[in-house]
Amino acid sequence: MTARGSKTSEPGIVDGFRIDDQTLDMPVTGGYVADAPIQQTLFQSMAGGGTLSFPFRGAGMPDRCDPFAFELPYDIDDTNPDMAEKLELLRATMGPHFFTDWKQRLYVYSFRASQAFAYLPREDAFARWGEGLPAEISVGGTPVTTIVYKPSVSEADTVPADEAWIASTAVRHPFSGLWVAPFKLGTPPVVAAQVIVRYIPAFRVDVVNMPTSFSATGREDKHPYLQEIN
């Protein structure tokens, strides 16, 4: 397995990106944007207090799970001409495409007492491609000792103590229909607890726009926009 990518505690992006079976160069320095606006609505009461409303995506999902959009600006000249071909092919091919920037992201769950089964909001890039960093899970601040990837994981599975099983094959969530990756703890919390999962997601995306400008002779600037889809 190849260890690559950066953790939540390691600032920045350190590797080229992955889309399907292609490796893309790093975009223009400082130009890459991974945008995930928080999906919540604030209702202001007449008394001056505020109430937050969040979308409900079904049982077993993270407390917050916001959709992503990505901007990847590229300057293309005779030093990287193959990037133009890769990006044009990406634009012309129907999605979904599977994209990762090899950045670990963090998801928080509010588990009930004895709850063991839940869902990652997206596939695990480590499980999909055998690269990157494996997931890390903590329950009430205590790390799970062993993470095991299985082709499928169900609520009926018997998981050994101090292990967590993560499905390498995505399924549709029974409530929302979103593509998710089931996981199960071998040692569930005895009381309500916060569960934190850190992993590198593989996002299902499509190209929604790719403006191209020709700023100089022998150069073109392509700016693909990727939107997360289901």
Write down the pTM of the prediction. Answer: 0.90
DSSP state of 144: P
Residue whose structure tokens are 């095991």: 148
For residue 17, the one-letter residue type is F
Contact 192, 110 (CB under 8 A): yes
Rounded to 5 degrees, what are φ and ψ at 89?
-65, -40
In whole angstroms, what is the distance from residue 225 CA to residue 230 CA?
16
Give per-residue pLDDT as tens, 100-143: 999 999 999 999 999 999 999 999 999 999 999 999 999 999 99
Q: Which of 51-55, 57-61, 203-207 has the lowest mean pLDDT?
A: 51-55
Per the CB < 8 A criterion, the answer to whether 63 and 109 are in contact is yes
Where do the structural domains in the chain lie, given as residue ranges? Answer: 17-228
DSSP reduced 3-state for 120 = strand
Task: Report how far residue 16's alpha carbon sits from residue 209's, in angstroms, rounded to the nearest whole number.
Answer: 21
Average pLDDT, the chain: 92
Query: Per-residue pLDDT tens for 73-108?
Result: 999 988 888 999 999 999 999 989 999 999 999 999
